[in-house]
Chain A
């Protein structure tokens, strides 16, 4: 079992709709959670981080964390073609080790 799991996609989302990405993790002691966006051929860039249970909003992005169920999600509202990218979930585990999921590819269609 991978320590951080994501659906690889592609997730096809109509422009203007909400994209919902999920990530599950196995280390129950994980403390911090991150979402990175990676455009094709580019390096990952941090877009959101969340440490506490609940929702955290930043512009069109909302991160949701549920430690009891060991999942973290990312919502992208009013999806734009520029949101087409691969989204990487990263989890800082109980040993302080950062683990990345394999990523979910999002395709926003006009």
Chain B
């Protein structure tokens, strides 16, 4: 089954404790991206990657890091999480920039 998987699905952590949210796709897509979704603000892109070893900032990259060492994986790293990073996070992959397949989401709470 073609899918994008994210782990963990739910995470409660404390300020400053480094965390990684994994994302993996099995559709051989070149384009992957991370979004956060907050009430009233919609989906905002954090980082995107057009291919292996190619990443670029989206609209809200501050406080996040990504890496793309393999085509299928695109982890999101929060080196020192803060409460304003409490949000719903989605990973997405696509053949092009528009028709994106989204993962199930990760609900992150930073205390």
Chain A interface residues (CB < 8 Å from chain B): 8, 32, 34, 42-46, 49, 88, 90, 92, 96-98, 100-103
For the complex, give the distance between the alpha carbons of A34 and B103 in Å. 18
Closest to A89 in B: B42
CB neighbours of B102 from chain A (8 A)? 43-45
- In the bound complex, do residue A49 and residue B98 qualify as a contact, i.e. CB atoms below 8 Å apart? yes
**Interface footprint category on B:** 10 to 19
- The 24 listed contacts between A and B (C-beta, < 8 Å) are A8-B40, A34-B98, A34-B99, A42-B105, A43-B90, A43-B103, A44-B43, A44-B90, A44-B100, A44-B102, A46-B100, A49-B98, A49-B99, A90-B98, A92-B97, A92-B98, A96-B97, A98-B33, A98-B97, A98-B98, A98-B100, A100-B35, A100-B43, A101-B42
Task: State whether the Cβ of B75 lies closer than 8 Å to any Cβ in chain A.
Answer: no
CB neighbours of B90 from chain A (8 A)? 43-44
- In the bound complex, do residue A46 and residue B40 qualify as a contact, i.e. CB atoms below 8 Å apart? no
**How near does chain A come to B35, taking the closest CB pair, in angstroms?**
8
Identify the interface centre among B40, B42, B90, B99: most chain A CB within 10 Å of its CB. B42
For the complex, give the distance between the alpha carbons of A98 and B105 in Å. 19
> Digit string of B76-108 for contact with A (CB within 8 Å is 1, else 0)?
000000000000001000000111111111000
- In the bound complex, do residue B42 and residue A88 qualify as a contact, i.e. CB atoms below 8 Å apart? yes
Task: State whether the Cβ of B2 lies closer than 8 Å to any Cβ in chain A.
Answer: no
**How near does chain A come to B54, taking the closest CB pair, in angstroms?**
13
CB neighbours of B43 from chain A (8 A)? 44, 88, 100
Q: Closest 3 A-B residue pairs measured CB to CB?
A: A102-B42, A43-B102, A100-B43
**How near does chain A come to B4, taking the closest CB pair, in angstroms?**
8
CB neighbours of A34 from chain B (8 A)? 98-99
CB neighbours of A46 from chain B (8 A)? 99-101
For the complex, give the distance between the alpha carbons of A58 and B43 in Å. 25
Closest to A33 in B: B98
For the complex, give the distance between the alpha carbons of A97 and B41 in Å. 17
